[in-house]
Structure 1
Amino acid sequence: MSESVVTLRREGRALRLTINRPDQRNALSNEVFTELRAGLSEAKADPSVRAVVLAGAGDKAFCAGGDLRQMGEDADELAAHRGRAGLAGVLRDLWELGKPTVARVQGYALAGGFGLAAACDFLVASERAVFGVPEAGVGLWPYMITVPLLQSMPPKDALRLMLTGRRIDAAEGRRLGVVSDVVPHDTLDKAVAELVDELALAAPQAVALGRTTFYSVLNNDVDARLRMLEASLTVNLGFGDAREGMAAFVEKRRPAWQVES
């Protein structure tokens, strides 16, 4: 039996969901999306769970983004398109959970991993954390994480990160508003636990309704936006730039873009 790509562990009043692919820097795959959604469903159904913590295994990365090897594989196009909607499903589940969510970021949070962390109510980052949106460098665009990034920082700052792929540290993430707290690396788990304890003091019924209302207002028409972004990603993956960019990433070389004359 293969090892789970997302592990669940009870930590006090929180359920911790950990992406368990440290050798791939916890890259997002269809299996990861499926298991994250199952874990969130379990947390939602258990009244003793008062918060959810999202984490990445190992010390290097929270999540370095989508698994480009899987995205570049030939497969049934409709099935592949539906698989790419996995991140949108996780985002919806986070916003509809009815319980506070905390991202524990100890290292790299890039591309879809950055968006996943930003979609949580709070993002607690180690001083070693690094954030970035590098998709344009591999012939893609950060379609699915556009919504959580625009919720978390000024639009022009988000667009600049998307266009340049520039990486930022936790302190700059805090300045932009996407990072809630920056703490010394050795105290990251303590800081997350203290935040969970603080969040668990609130009345659970009021939190369930109030938090759902909060995201209903914030995410007005978000389903239409996510559907548009899902379709755009599928179209983009058919571009020559995307094929070249992902091949270059896998082969660890600089991409050779085809520029029309």
Structure 2
Amino acid sequence: MAEPDLVHVDHRGQAAVVTLDSPHNRNALSSSLLEQLHAALAGVTADDRARVVVLTATGTVFCSGADLKEQLAGGPQPAVGLPDVVTLIYGSPKPVVARVNGAARAGGLGLIAACDLTVGLARATFGFSEVRIGVAPAVIAVPCLRRMDRRAARELFLTGETFDGLRARDAGLLDRAVADDELDQTVDVLVGQLCRGAPEALAVTKRLLQDLPGPDLDEDLRRMAAVSAERFASAEAREGIAALLGKREPSWDTSSALATGGRP
């Protein structure tokens, strides 16, 4: 019997919308969902039609974390796990925007934190619930501690308390916390802005955001001077500068024609 489709991909304009669709378990991170999510993200990363990736979910829950029934049942380690998905999002040359349509817990917060830009509902609830069931937010600490305020993370990790989207924004987990009727518009605006950037330049900028600051100031400056020189010598830079001087849009900028509809 074939596995049900738990993840869908839709192309809307130059955005590839990757949607978790496992409502029977609140979009929990089962081995099947993780495998399908990894395959979907790998596919859109390699697809030239997509300039930006939007990660979202169906229903009122973004992701409830690990599939606890599956965890209790035991069994062999799955071929694809959450670390593989986080690594893929980090390594994607394309910006990944989280459209957080509802509640998120535990591993779901790790997915959000791995994304480049995050937009969620102000009324949604979030929680690092691991300690309350006797485990620890181990894997998700890797992306979360790279994004969140350290003091806020300490309290939220240790208490396991539930918090809303406004606090998630203040803690650094969300970039924007919006009303329900503003979610799609906010995501669409961000996608349009991202599509104004040159694809190679966006990929390089993602890498430097992850790499800096390093342990040594002089080494950082040396490496970034080389990156800057390489970019100014690139075909994208020649096109971008010519477009600016010629008072026209560069060849990659089709933002005015986008109709992403970030909703699933």
TM-score grouping bracket, smaller chain normalisation? 0.7 to 0.9
* 2:66 alignment counterpart: 66
Residues in 1 aligned to 2:214 and 2:17: alpha-carbon distance in whole angstroms = 25
Does the alignment pair 1:13 with 2:8? no
Q: 1:214: Cα distance to partner?
A: 2.5
Distance 1:219 1:178 in 2: 23
Is 1:104 aligned to residue 105 of structure 2?
no
Match of 1:93 in 2: 88
CA separation in 2, counterparts of 1:184 and 1:121?
Answer: 21
CA distance in 1, matches of 2:185, 2:205: 27
Q: Where does structure 2 lack aligned partners over 5 or more consecutive residues?
A: 216-264
Q: Deviations over 1:21-53 (max 9, x none)?
A: 112110001111111111111111112211111
1: CA distance between counterparts of 2:181 and 2:62?
15
Q: Distance in 2 between matches of 1:175 and 1:163?
A: 18
Find the aligned partners of 2:212 and 2:43 in 1 and give their Cα distance. Answer: 25
Please report how far the alpha carbon of residue 218 of structure 1 lies from its aligned counterpart in structure 2 after TM superposition: 7.0
Distance 1:118 1:165 in 2: 17
Question: What's the RMSD between the two structures over aligned residues?
Answer: 1.8
Structure 1: how far apart are the matches of 2:212 and 2:89? 15
2:44 alignment partner in structure 1: 43
Q: Secondary structure at the match of 1:65?
A: coil
TM-score by length of 1: 0.77
Residue 22 (structure 1) aligns with = 23
- The Cα shift of 1:109 comes to 1.0
Report sequence identity in percent: 36
Alpha-carbon separation, structure 1, partners of 2:114 and 2:214: 11
2:158 equivalent to 1:163? yes
Alignment gaps of 5+ in structure 1:
221-261
Give the aligned residue type for 1:27.
A
Aligned to 2:252: none
- CA displacement at 1:113 relative to structure 2: 0.2
Q: Indicate whether 1:201 and 2:196 are aligned.
A: yes
Give the structure 2 partner of residue 190 of structure 1.
185
Distance in structure 1 (CA, Å) of the matches to 2:213 and 2:3: 39
Rounded to whole Å, the distance in 2 between the matches of 1:170 and 1:104 is 12
Superposed displacement of residue 72, structure 1: 1.2
CA distance in 2, matches of 1:40, 1:144: 19
Cα distance in 2 for partners of 1:2, 1:148 equals 29
**C-alpha distance after superposition, 1:145-190 (max 9, x if no partner):** 0011111112232121111111111111111122111221022112
Larger CA Rg, structure 1 vs 2: 2
**Distance verdict in 2 for CA 1:42–1:219, change over 3 Å:** farther
Identify the range of structure 1 (90-99 vs 211-220) with the bigger mean alpha-carbon deviation.
Answer: 211-220
Verify the 8 A CA contact 1:106 1:128 in the aligned structure 2: no
**TM-score using structure 2 length:** 0.77
Moved more, 171-180 or 91-100: 171-180
CA distance in 2 between partners of 1:189 and 1:121 (Å): 17
- For 2:214 and 2:187, locate their aligned partners in 1 and report how far apart those are by CA, in whole Å: 26
Q: Would you say 1:134 and 2:135 are equivalent positions?
A: no
Q: What is the alpha-carbon distance in structure 1 between the residues aligned to residue 23 and residue 42 of structure 2? A: 24
Write the distance in 1 (CA, Å) between the matches of 2:192 and 2:39.
Answer: 24
Q: After superposition, where does 1:113-152 map in structure 2 within 5 Å? A: 113-152=108-147
Cα separation, partners in 2 of 1:218 and 1:62, compared to 1, 3 Å: farther
CA distance in 2, matches of 1:218, 1:14: 30
Q: 1:218 to 1:114 in 2, by over 3 A?
A: farther
Amino acid aligned to 1:70: E
